Amino acid sequence: MDELPSYAETLNERQREAVLHGKAPLLILAGAGSGKTRVVTTRITYLIDRLSFTPDQILAVTFTNKAAREMQERVDRFLEERGRDAGSAVMIKTFHSFCSWFLRRNAAAAGLSPYFGIYDDDDALALIKTVVPGHLPAGEVRTLQNAISRAKDDNLTPDDDLGGISAHPEFPEVFRRYEEKLAASGNVDFGGLIQKTLMVLHREPAITSRLRQKFQVVLVDEYQDCNGAQSLLLEALYGPQTWLAVVGDDDQSIYRFRGADVSHILNFPQKFPGTVIVRLEQNYRSTGAILEVASQVVARNQGRLGKTLWTANPVGRKPRLVFHNDQDDEAAWAVDLIKRAPLTETAILYRTNAQSRAFESALVRAKLPYRLVGTVRFYEREEIKDVLAWLRLLTNSRDEVSFQRIVNKPARGLGKSALSIVERHRTSDWLDACGLALGELKGKAKAGLGQFLDLYAQLNGALMNCRNLSVLVQQVIEDSGLGEHHRQNEDLGEAKEQNLDELVNAAAPYPGTIEGLTQFLENVELDAAGTLDEQPGVTTLITMHNTKGLEFDRVLVTGLEDGLFPRDTFDPQEIEEERRLFYVAVTRARQELLFSTCRSRLQHGKYQDRAPSRFLAEIDPDSLEVVGAGGRGTEIWAVGQRVFHDDFGVGTVVKKWYNGSELGLDVRFDSGRMGRFMPAYTPLEKVAADE
């Protein structure tokens, strides 16, 4: 038997099994904090170091650019330590980035130019607005945009049965016209990147064969987040000689609203016969007490392959459940906790973005620093998107969204009537259409369109002659008038100018060529992963969905009330997804975990009574410390007391019990029905014994 590689000696038994596994399809069920990234990177090293695969035969796919960068850095470091410098030849990309790479190299087969642009959600919405009936309100337009995105997640086209996506009567026709306009623009949206890749692989067996020959090892991270199209792509990449491994956690599948489907990881062994399942259950992040609570709740789910997290870490303090009167009390408690025990990392988690307001206000009043995760990202800001539109038009003059965004910004006297004349002349290229329209325009409109064409020619010439892309970006900002336009903003001019300066900095590493510009735009458009500033002592405010992949010393899981978390729903699959979200939130904590719930919460301008989240009732009372359970409902209740409930009628208290210091009652109603209540949250009325 070969000697065990030194880099595998420090792995635990299950990690080592995953790293040294052979050719059969491999499903690594990696629990939270179980070291899955280390397993993936060590397996890549092992395949190169001991099994003689070359780095360029390996494809690793992740879901965020941040994860791809981290994995690339680890692989490079591993191989450099062993005297190899070819780690960067391992292709580690997101699904979308991989498909962009593939389509640029097979552009003709896909019916594209190799310099195609990628439309983000805002661009797609702008294009949809050009094809929807004018009477539709903005909310319905966004609904149709989401439906198109979901259809593409399932690899559906306008010719397929779309009834399961949307019942909107306009949807099939809007989808069809959107696809036609998108094709005419020569660009691709995010869903189209995967769809077009699948189209080429299904139509061109020779290309598929070459791709499988090139990538004989395929690894997929976060497989539980796959949608239908991504799952089909993996099947297309898999051939008789493929060494396939996927890593994921069915208990952390929380992106159903984005098209993710937990069934893909649950059914992986059926799709790929002979699959070996390795469970990574040792957690290196959290205390034993935290993991106990997480496991108790997620174990209630039916749709899971099953695993039990454990840790060699200390048991630690029990998680605390804290009751508050309302959200303002909840925010004040959080601030007081941070003041009294200022750990380096504290995160306040909530189900919806709207819940951040009370915490933000309280932290500002207390003059405590915080960062709010989920604000507008840099590349989504107005001034940045304006400049990017110019850059994209320079690479693709068929780009309708970019053309419409900047042709009259700053204002050049081009109103709707002038632009309608341009559109009438358009066959495919917007610059050609502008040239043809000049002869029909007069006055300011003609002068403005002429200036636009001159500016395009000037900037296009600059692209052909600049050494560094940052020079071109700076010229676009100034010559287009966008820099001055945004500097004149009374409230945000300085901030917008700083953002434009930063865009120039971002372009500096790229050469001033069409290829350099295309690569820059691709990186901008695909980089959807936000990053957190590493600032000690700064409290993080973040939704539970955004915490995926993060960890903190102390975590406050707030707003644990039925109707808020979990949301009101009768769909068993949605309840299971909400329960997985609870599991994700809990397992972000390293040392200290606190839950909070409010007796009432301000909604739509009125305070409404709330009941504690059902997930709290799924935790063994002995696993929690309960704090602040006094207040409403603390009067004396005796066994034998007659009570009245609005829904169940008259009954008798037959048992008293406590969840920590919180009183609970078992009631047998005269109808024969039994009920269990916490008087602090359920309106039970005492009645006389003879009633």
- Choose the final residue of a domain: 465, 493, 527: 527
100 and 15 part of one domain:
yes
98 and 162 part of one domain:
no
Confirm if 50 and 5 have CB atoms less than 8 A apart: yes
Sign of CA dihedral 260, 265, 267, 273: positive
Confirm if 57 and 218 have CB atoms less than 8 A apart: no
State the Cα–Cα distance between residues 236 and 238, nearest whole angstrom.
5
> Up-side HSE of residue 105: CA atoms within 13 Å toward CB?
11
213 and 82 part of one domain:
yes
Percentage of the residues of the chain whose pLDDT score is greater than 70: 93
Does residue 179 fall inside a structural domain? yes
Contacts of 329 (CB under 8 A, 6+ apart): 598
Which two tokens mark 328?
């303002």
Does residue 41 fall inside a structural domain? yes
Confirm if 458 and 479 have CB atoms less than 8 A apart: yes
Q: Which of 147, 155, 96, 156 lies closest to 124, judged by CA?
A: 147
- Residue 280 backbone zone (phi > 0: left; psi -120 to 50: alpha; other: beta): beta
Does residue 339 fall inside a structural domain? yes
Full-model pTM: 0.81
Q: Which of 547, 554, 565 lies closest to 316, judged by CA?
A: 554
Does residue 111 fall inside a structural domain? no
- Choose the final residue of a domain: 260, 280, 300: 280
607 and 662 part of one domain:
no
Instruction: Give per-residue pLDDT as tens, 136-167.
Output: 888 889 999 999 999 999 999 999 999 999 99
Which two tokens mark 167?
């019942």
82 and 216 part of one domain:
yes
Instruction: Give per-residue pLDDT as tens, 430-442.
Output: 999 999 999 999 9
Judge whether residue 529 has pLDDT over 70: no
Question: How confident is the model over 291-313, as a mean pLDDT?
Answer: 95
State the Cα–Cα distance between residues 157 and 194, nearest whole angstrom.
13
Place 331 in a pLDDT band, splitting at 50, 70 and 90: very high
496 and 384 part of one domain:
yes
94 and 128 part of one domain:
no
Does residue 199 fall inside a structural domain? yes
Instruction: Give per-residue pLDDT as tens, 255-287.
Output: 998 899 999 999 999 999 999 999 999 999 999
Judge whether residue 1 has pLDDT over 70: no
Place 528 in a pLDDT band, splitting at 50, 70 and 90: very low
457 and 508 part of one domain:
yes
Which contacts of 445-451 are long-range, i.e. CB under 8 A and separated by 24 or more positions?
445/413, 445/414, 445/415, 445/417, 445/418, 447/412, 447/413, 448/408, 448/412, 448/413, 448/414, 448/418, 449/412, 449/414, 449/418, 449/422, 451/412
State the Cα–Cα distance between residues 405 and 164, nearest whole angstrom.
34
Number of domains in the chain: 5
- Residue 166: domain span: 118-185
Does residue 635 fall inside a structural domain? no
Does residue 228 fall inside a structural domain? yes
pLDDT at 76: 86
Instruction: Give per-residue pLDDT as tens, 574-613.
Output: 999 999 999 999 999 999 999 999 988 876 556 788 888 9
- Range with the poorest average pLDDT among 217-231, 307-321, 377-391: 377-391
Residue 400's identity, in one-letter code, is E
| CATH assignment at residue 492 | 1.10.486.10
| CATH assignment at residue 621 | 3.40.50.300
Judge whether residue 659 has pLDDT over 80: no
650 and 613 part of one domain:
no
CA 209 to chain centre: 32
CA 87 to chain centre: 28
239 and 384 part of one domain:
no
Instruction: Give per-residue pLDDT as tens, 225-250.
Output: 999 999 999 999 999 999 999 999 99
Q: Which of 316, 253, 261, 244 lies closest to 283, judged by CA?
A: 316
DSSP three-state, residue 626: strand
Helix (H) or strand (E) holding 595: strand 589-598
- Choose the final residue of a domain: 505, 527, 549: 527
pLDDT at 377: 65
Q: Which of 264, 195, 208 lies closest to 236, judged by CA?
A: 208
Active site residues: 36-37, 221-222, 252, 588
Within a 10 A sphere around the Cβ of 603, how many other Cβ atoms?
13
Does residue 109 fall inside a structural domain? no
State the Cα–Cα distance between residues 271 and 448, nearest whole angstrom.
59
Judge whether residue 533 has pLDDT over 60: no
Q: Which of 201, 143, 198 lies closest to 175, judged by CA?
A: 143
State the Cα–Cα distance between residues 416 and 406, nearest whole angstrom.
14
Confirm if 252 and 224 have CB atoms less than 8 A apart: yes
| CATH assignment at residue 159 | 1.10.10.160
Q: Give, in degrees to the nearest 5, the angle at Cα 638 between 632 and 644.
A: 65
Helix (H) or strand (E) holding 220: strand 217-220
pLDDT at 527: 59
167 and 237 part of one domain:
no
Q: Specify which residues 595 forms β-bridges with.
A: 321, 557
Residue 427's identity, in one-letter code, is T
Judge whether residue 466 has pLDDT over 90: no
403 and 357 part of one domain:
no
Within a 10 A sphere around the Cβ of 351, how many other Cβ atoms?
23
